[in-house]
């Protein structure tokens, strides 16, 4: 899949799934713009891309801050004149039970995981509508389908369920303007998030995955780059599980 000179914005690109997504787009020829509050981590990814002959720039971004997002999107537009792909990957996990959380905890999860997706989409959508072309890929979670789980409580699941609904709405509203919007629902991914699962606990966890393995970040990136490509030009509003077969119903 060829993304030569396509302008791609990736949020939360400093590590894990986001890093792999950035690397995949860069290898396909895209101009990658990384939005992340972790500026040092994002710059490390960008440096790696540039050293490999690709293009990447970093914008320190708090996705929960609409003005910050809008200003950075405007800066990219001034420099490039278009935005072809938006991948919303930025997010946080809170695994505490609902009764252990307060309203501030709720606001923090929702403001990053859901409002952050709204902020970037709200800033980018008019651009894509004007150019009659755009691809939006949102990273949700199977937690958004089952109301949480081992890597996220009820509030985390709620935030990701919101991302799923937002994606479906974007597909409906953006379709007449040539915009595709899709979401990916990963299951457990082999990142720092599962590093503490070892021995018997890890083995028991794997038994719940039909493929008996955790996803690698590249497994998610491969689906993201497909959904953002013209190979998937007639796919929109799709919520794709990448979970090794956990969600079978």
Cα-to-chain-centroid distance, residue 223 = 11
State yes or no: is 156 an active-site residue. yes
Tokens of 174: 């953006």
Question: Kindly report the CA angle at 222 between 50 and 247, in degrees rounded to 5?
Answer: 145
Which residue of the set 66, 133, 156, 177 is catalytic?
156
SS3 90: coil
Which whole-number Å values give the CA distances from 163 to 10, 41, 77, 182, in the listed order?
16, 25, 25, 10
The residues with which 57 forms a beta bridge, in sequence order, are 33
Distance in angstroms (rounded) separating the CA atoms of residues 224 and 240: 10
Which whole-number Å values give the CA distances from 220 to 9, 159, 173, 187, 238, in the listed order?
16, 19, 25, 10, 15
Contacts of 185 (CB under 8 A, 6+ apart): 140, 141, 142, 144, 145, 160, 164, 239, 240, 241, 242, 243, 247
- Comparing CA positions, the residue from 172, 175, 85 lying closest to residue 129 is 175
User: Where in the sequence numbering do the catalytic residues fall?
Assistant: 156
């Amino acid at each position: 899949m060829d993304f030569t000179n396509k302008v791609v914005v990736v949020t939360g690109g400093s590590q894990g799934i986001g890093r792999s997504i950035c690397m995949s787009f860069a290898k396909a020829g895209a101009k990658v713009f990384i939005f992340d509050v972790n500026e040092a981590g994002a710059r490390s990814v960008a440096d790696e891309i540039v050293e490999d002959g690709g293009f990447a720039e970093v914008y320190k971004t708090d996705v929960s801050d609409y003005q910050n997002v809008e200003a950075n999107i405007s800066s990219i537009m001034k420099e490039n004149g278009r935005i072809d792909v938006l991948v919303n990957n930025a997010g946080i996990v809170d695994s505490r039970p609902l009764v252990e959380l307060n309203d501030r905890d709720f606001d923090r999860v929702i403001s990053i995981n859901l409002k952050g997706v709204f902020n970037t989409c709200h800033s980018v959508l008019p651009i894509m509508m004007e150019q009659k072309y755009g691809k939006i890929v949102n990273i949700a979670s199977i937690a958004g389908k089952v109301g949480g789980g081992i890597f996220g409580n009820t509030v985390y699941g709620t935030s990701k369920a919101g991302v799923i609904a937002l994606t479906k709405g974007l597909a409906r509203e953006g379709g007449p303007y040539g915009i595709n919007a899709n979401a990916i629902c990963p299951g457990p991914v082999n990142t720092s998030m599962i590093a503490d699962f070892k021995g018997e606990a890890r083995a028991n966890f794997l038994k719940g995955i039909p493929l008996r393995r955790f996803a690698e970040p590249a497994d998610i990136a491969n689906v993201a780059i497909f959904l953002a490509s013209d190979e998937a030009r007639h796919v929109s509003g799709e919520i794709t599980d990448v979970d090794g077969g956990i969600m079978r119903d």
